[in-house]
Copies of this chain bind each other. A is one copy, B any other.
């Protein structure tokens, strides 16, 4: 069940946000940037630089590492992408889709990432932030545990060894 992030998302909104940011900063639209951005939009969620680079190189083998890093930093700065760091040592990126905001359940055994949404938590967050006088910009909520499959696997292993 590979899921792609654009299914229900208005990408033009993000394209415009990026153009606005680039215009304001006097940055230029290049073949590489367009390719990287559109590839990112089409990619599965939580993509790493490595994975994205290899998708990009499938279309244009000459694109360099640094350009992907620089472009993703650009997307992060203008609020089109979020950086995420789960337990493995790499940074992953996702579309900054505030509307359909989701958080993450991460299996500590197999690394599988499950997304969830809980409006009640979102509401509580706002009330906590205002209690401390914070102006909320974004958040990260990650829950670590053992997924059903790995629990079953562990049970089976225990049974076999006894």
Judged by a CB distance under 8 angstroms, whether A65 is at the interface is no
Judged by a CB distance under 8 angstroms, whether A146 is at the interface is yes
The stretch from A7-15, A46-54, A131-139 touching chain B is: A131-139
Judged by a CB distance under 8 angstroms, whether A140 is at the interface is yes
For chain A, which range describes its interface: under 10, 10 to 19, 20 to 34, or 35 or more residues?
A: 20 to 34
Q: A128-B105, A128-B118 are in contact. Are A139 and B133 (CB under 8 A)?
A: no
7 A–B contacts, CB within 8 A, in A order: A105-B132, A105-B134, A121-B121, A136-B143, A137-B144, A140-B141, A141-B141
A residues sitting closer than 8 Å to B (CB atoms) are 85, 105, 107-108, 114, 116, 118, 120-121, 124-125, 128-129, 131-148, 151
